[in-house]
Structure 1
Amino acid sequence: MSGMSEGPMTAADAAPDSTRRAVTESSAAVAAPPHAPAPDSVRTGPDARVHEALGVEPPPPPASPPAPYLSAFLAAPLALAVVDRRGQVVTANAALAVMLGVEDPGRLTGLTAAELVDLASDSRTWHTYQEVLRGRQARLTCTRRIKHPDGHSVWVQVTVSPVPGGRTVLLSLTDISARRELQARLRHLQMHDPVTRLPNRTLFFERLSAALEAGAYDGAGSGRIGLCYLDLDGFKAVNDTLGHGIGDRLLAAVAERLTRCADRIGYGRGAAAPLVARLGGDEFALLVEDSAGTEQLAGLAESVLRAVQEPFDLSGQRLAVSASIGVVERHMEGTTATGLMQAADTTLYWAKADGKARWTLFDPERNAHRMTRQALSSGLRPAVERGEFVLEYQPLVNLGDGVLRGVEALVRWDHPQFGMLTPNRFIGLAEEDGSIVQLGRWILRTACRQARSWQLEHPEAPPVYVSVNVAVRQVWDSDLVADVAEVLAETGLAPELLQLELTESAVMGSAGRPLQALQSLSDMGVHIAIDDFGTGYSNLAYLSRLPVSVLKLDGSFVRGFQYDDGGEHATPADAVIVEAMVQLAHRLGLTVTAECVETAAQAARLRQIGCDTGQGWLYSRPVAPDRISALLTAS
């Protein structure tokens, strides 16, 4: 046409009429205020038919031709599509077509947008998408994995938002595959051990928690889970002698063998192999989901032991190591990750304590005993402060005339949960954690105060001495001499009315501070007795150099004094041994007390041999202080 020059054809000119009209509408809606007045010419022009077809209020006339907006839409590197309220694509640009593997963007027109980007795969996303289409929600953003026709997948971030002033929404897709790949690589580094390339502690617990959670709600499978918790024996020595480089190579080699063991058991079951993880240091774990039972776990543990015990050849360094394994297998229901790991850790400790280079299966009964022991150990010190301990006293009787000469103070723990506990339940624990010093001071003070009280209540009766057991740790960890002197001064009890009992193993071989303490106590006037004599060193020559005044024969000798109805002695060997010890003790100036005297026949034989004092159920069980008062009154 004359008066007009032809220019190059633009993308807008090449686009289909429907595409140009829809994008013109969307672009105009964005370009002009939604409430601007529209002249009649716009309402009756050719674009009005597009607006009417789409059910959209026509926009006011643009300030400039709409072609630039259409060109921008079509040429945008961001994948875009205009979608109507029914969810169908009105128009799409070339970037979206390329992303979806479609040659012509026009072929996307009329397709359901939700199917193109899988928006209906979960109910929550689908509901939000529907709300955006209805204009009830401003935006939807989600991540989807879409499959390209050539076979590769693309991770995209999908955004759906309304177009202002119209009844369409804008769908945009951003390729985030590179970002996802980077995140995956970073997660792999975060979740895997750099030395062995095995899953690390974080990933292991993530898998364990997920398995337990799935097992609690999924009725499929065995509903059981198993764990082998592994620790290398003596690995620290490898690091210390050969260096951490060799140590790391050993860990990597162990990891390879563990993985092969796991793969074999997975192949044999026709199921996924157990998860092998390094939990830190030289600790590894093999997690068996959907366990077939303890027999399967035992077989896995056996194969792991054999694999680890095979020598390792590391650059000319031939190393032989072993492993200890704790094995736990149980129902998933009611099991927590923390509880399972605590059981595995306890069982691994048992395997170490039982001699190493072995596997041990979790035993609920043994664990209950351990838990009780732990509860007692943690409660010892507070129990002393709360006054939960009590003393009972067992009479020490002269075998010649049957008169009460003294009493042995025996501590009991009136535990609020476990009831009355005898010393064998807690004294060993107190010695281990050092609370025996605090408890020993309380026993000494309480016993001496009680002995002085009996003396004041029964001035007419000969005073009885009190015998108190002393642990060797009390000699080392406290000033026993000062403690005894303070208690005697505080209570007013004469030193000769206090007897301290130490075990034979604690006294024999004493030197330095313990020997000095015993000598100072003896010089003070306190009697020193060796308890359970005959069960330890029995070094009588050394005994002559100790400040000891009393031997207490172990009850195993006295129990050998058995008689039949005719009074015939059944075990003469015990009688010969006891008689020899009594005679030797007397020649050393020591007195002898026999423990565990239960029958009159035993007492008679001990008296005949020359034993000085007897203690046992024949005379009395350990009793409360008022019963001793009654005995003193009767005498």
Structure 2
Amino acid sequence: MSGTPEGPGPTAGTPRHSAGPATTECHTPWPPVGAECSEPHGYRAAFLAATLPMAVVDHEGLVVTANEALGGLLGRPASALTNQSAADLLDLAADGRTWHAYREVLHGRRSRFRCTHRLKHPDGRALWAEVTVVPMPGQVAGAGDGSVPGRVLLSVSDISDRRELQKRLRHLQMHDPVTRLPNRTLFFERLSAALETPPHGDSASGHGRVGLCYLDLDGFKAVNDTMGHRIGDRLLAAVAARLTDCAAQDGAHRSGAHLVARLGGDEFAILVEDSAGTQQLTDLARSVLAALQQPFDLAGQRLSVSASIGVVERAVAGTSATGLMQAADTTLYWAKADGKARWTVFDPERNAHRMTRQTLSSNLRPAVERGEFTIEYQPLVGMADGVVRGVEALVRWNHPQFGMLSPNRFVAIAEEDGSIVQLGRWVLQSACRQARRWQLEHPADPPLFISVNVAVRQVWDSDLVTDVAEILAETGLDPSLLQLELTESAVMGSAGRPIQALQSLSEMGVRIAIDDFGTGYSNLAYLSRLPVSVLKLDGSFVRGFRYDEGAHPSPADETIVEAMVQLAHRLGLTVTAECVETAGQAERLRRIGCDTGQGWLYSRAVAPERIAELIGTRPMQG
């Protein structure tokens, strides 16, 4: 039995009379074949000659009379059906819900019943039948006044053709025309069912698991663009066949068949219901990569493709279709970012970092407007006398959720989404204003210069020259007291507008420093053509100045630094050593000829009030 009985039920606690259509043709039930009735012979003739299988059934469910069409459907003479149980003939008692609804109509407590289920035809074929039961015209059944319950008219419609058409239409709606695989709609339908239905009756233990391999072909767009969509479609169909083979082989050795679907474009998914664990999924992903790496022969074209695969495996309990697909999409992105042609397993810790990154990205611009950023300053100290010459402005984000964040947590994000322009201008303006304030508060001491980091995107996406000029004019800070720091790779890997902007800033009197020098191009000859004033040696060189375990210094780093310092001085540049942590390092750097030093030996980055105390003095060391 299949389908759901139709028709309104009775009012709770109250028997309901039959609601058959009113008629004055005949007020007595139809008699069996051969009995006399003065009025309904026209109806009886139509009943007997009808091609629709029908029967009159009494209140006990027994056939009073049936037409030849019903007899032909059931493979018996119509007369042989008399006094037979209609429920037994049509298998109406196989389903409890259907049986109850049918009995409700027989006893006048329901006005109509309809259900759909499979019947076996006498010729052996199965057919889909729609069974309808309604009260006979003019019957008053179950009146509750002692009257005899009326009879009902039962009809059976063969709807096999309609069901087959519906099945074909559903198949077309649920399958991809290019690969013949299930499409996105059917995939999500099956996925949702897998997450809702405990496998093998395991609902009590909650041990059911589900796995997903979500893959994307690498470089498929190039195939479409260079060879046309016809070849592209053939490639997709060939890929689908190999995925199906891989899934079938894995399913044959595991828990059963897997669903392979095309989700759109060149994206495919393999759903593993009742997964045996992550190892099963990674084995499947490995076999898929190996299968796809074999060349494809398509209409004389020999093509090779690869795929990136995101692998997710988890318990069914607590997993939603949306959550599983988000994890799979994230993991697929990781596989592509890690180099493509590989599979990557979902990592909760890595995902948490990504979510944190997304949160920071979405909050960056509003955070500037809300004033969540602050600036700390780290002294730049003269190596010869230990006096503070300037400070570097280091921005901090006082995030309401994650606490105080250092620049390495958010500057790269700001550069990616462009918010570095807004943030960078605020830092530049705040730092220049603070430098001018120190100058006015300590007129007897040499003024400190302020060093501010600048991203290349600030040069490309804004008029940095104009911004600097306006800020200097607004704060009254002399241009010679402003130093702008750019990384070595950013400066030397740029051309055109960035170089022109640096040249204009240098002509204005602003000093240009290359930060982290020695980690990028390290092309000192190129420096002669750039408007650079200062080199800041990367801290990795300075850390190499430490003594090894045998108390003997390693001279390699010292030799490199000495050579760079000498060449820089010959080019008219000053040198700042970063990450100075010990007095021994400071002494060796001073002996080599470094001009200034910066690091924890002198001071960590501190609030502006602490810098004010250091002006004109030697900072504490150690």
User: TM-score, normalization: structure 2?
Assistant: 0.89
More off after superposition, 390-399 vs 111-120: 111-120
In the alignment, which of 104, 114, 125 is matched to residue 152 of structure 1? 125
**SS in structure 2 of the partner of residue 229 of structure 1:** strand
- 1:260 and 2:245 equivalent? yes
| Aligned residue among 504, 507, 522 for 2:488 | 504
Write out per-residue CA displacement over residues 339-396 of structure 1, whole angstroms, 9 at most, x where no aligned residue: 1111112222222222222222222222222222222222222222222211111111
Q: Does 1:313 align with 2:313?
A: no
In the aligned structure 2, how far is the partner of 1:48 from the partner of 1:247?
A: 69
What stretches of structure 2 of length at least 5 have no aligned partner?
1-19, 141-149
Q: Within 2, Cα distance between the matches of 1:334 and 1:629?
A: 57
* 1:264-279 alignment runs, 5 A limit: 264-269=249-254, 271-279=255-263
Answer yes or no: is 1:625 the counterpart of 2:599: no
Question: Residue 84 in 1 paired to residue 79 in 2?
Answer: no
Structure 2 residue 605 is the aligned partner of structure 1 residue 605: no
Question: 1:12 — aligned with what?
Answer: none
Aligned-pair identity in percent equals: 74
Q: 1:163-178 to 2 correspondence within 5 Å?
A: 163=136, 164-166=138-140, 167-178=150-161
Q: Does 498-507 or 126-135 show the bigger shift?
A: 126-135
- Which structure shows the bigger proportion of residues in helix conformation? 1
C-alpha separation in 2, matches of 1:603 and 1:515: 33
In 2, the alpha carbon distance for the partners of 1:65 and 1:513 equals 103
Map of 1:165-204 to 2, 5 A cutoff?
165-166=139-140, 167-204=150-187
Greater shift in the superposed pair: 537-546 or 198-207: 537-546
Shift of 1:212: 0.8
Stretch moving more, 109-118 or 617-626: 109-118
Match of 2:486, SS state, is: strand
Contact 1:118 1:144 in 2 (8 A): no
Q: Which residue of 2 aligns with 1:524?
A: 508
User: What letter corresponds to residue 370 of structure 1 in structure 2?
Assistant: R
Size of the alignment, in residue pairs?
584
Q: CA deviation at 1:633?
A: 8.0
Task: State whether structure 2 residue 527 is matched by structure 1 residue 554.
Answer: no
Deviation at 1:565, TM superposition (A): 11
Q: Deviations over 1:252-280 (max 9, x none)?
A: 111112112222222223x5321111111
Partner residue, 2:230: 245
The equivalent position to 2:338 in structure 1, one of 345, 349, 354, is: 354
Which amino acid in structure 2 is aligned with residue 78 of structure 1?
A: L
- Residue type at the aligned position of 1:526: V
Displacement of 1:187 after TM fit? 0.5
- Alignment gaps of 5+ in structure 1: 1-26, 35-46, 52-60
Cα distance per residue 1:90-146 (max 9 Å; x no partner) = 2211122222222x1122222222333333344443333232222222212222222
1:129 aligns with 2:102: yes
Residue 368 (1) aligns with residue 342 (2): no
Structure 1 residue 205, shift from structure 2 partner: 0.8
Q: Quick one: which amino acid aligns to residue 53 of structure 2?
A: A
Q: Secondary structure at the match of 1:577?
A: helix
Q: 283-292 or 111-120: which moved more?
A: 111-120
Question: Larger radius of gyration, structure 1 or 2?
Answer: 1
Alignment root-mean-square deviation, CA: 2.5
**Displacement of 1:520:** 0.8
Which residue, out of 421, 436, 444, partners 2:420? 436
Q: Distance in 2 between matches of 1:277 and 1:392?
A: 54
Alignment correspondent of 1:570:
553
Give 2:214's match in structure 1, choosing from 226, 229, 248: 229
Secondary structure of the residue that 1:562 maps to in structure 2?
coil
Q: TM-score, normalised by structure 1?
A: 0.87
Matched-pair contact (CA < 8 Å) for 2:26–2:40: no
In the other structure, the counterpart of 1:4 is none
Check whether the contact 1:222–1:291 (CA below 8 A) recurs between aligned residues: no
For residues 157 and 299 of structure 1, the distance between their equivalents in structure 2, rounded to whole angstroms, comes to 48
Q: Equivalent of 1:325, from 294, 297, 309?
A: 309
Aligned partners of 1:633 and 1:346: how far apart in 2?
A: 54
1:69 to 30, 36, 43: 43
Distance 2:127 2:603 in 1: 88
1:139 aligns with 2:124: no
In the other structure, the counterpart of 1:101 is 75
Residue 381 of structure 2 corresponds to residue 397 of structure 1: yes
Instruction: Tell me the distance in 1 between the aligned counterparts of 2:334 and 2:21.
Output: 78
**2: CA distance, partners of 1:48 / 1:233:** 75
The answer on whether the counterparts of 1:395 and 1:404 sit within 8 Å (CA) in structure 2 is: yes
Q: Which runs of 4+ in 1 moved over 6 A?
A: 47-51
Instruction: Answer whether contact 2:309 2:335 (CA < 8 A) is retained.
Output: yes
Match of 1:515 in 2: 499
TM-fit CA distance, 1:478: 0.9
- Following superposition, the deviation at residue 509 of structure 1 comes to 4.5
Residue 451 of structure 1 aligns to a residue in which SS?
helix
Q: Distance in 2 between matches of 1:529 and 1:606?
A: 19
Structure 1 counterpart of 2:469, from 485, 502, 524: 485
SS in 2 for 1:574: helix
Judge conservation of contact 2:217–2:267 (CA < 8 Å) in 1: yes
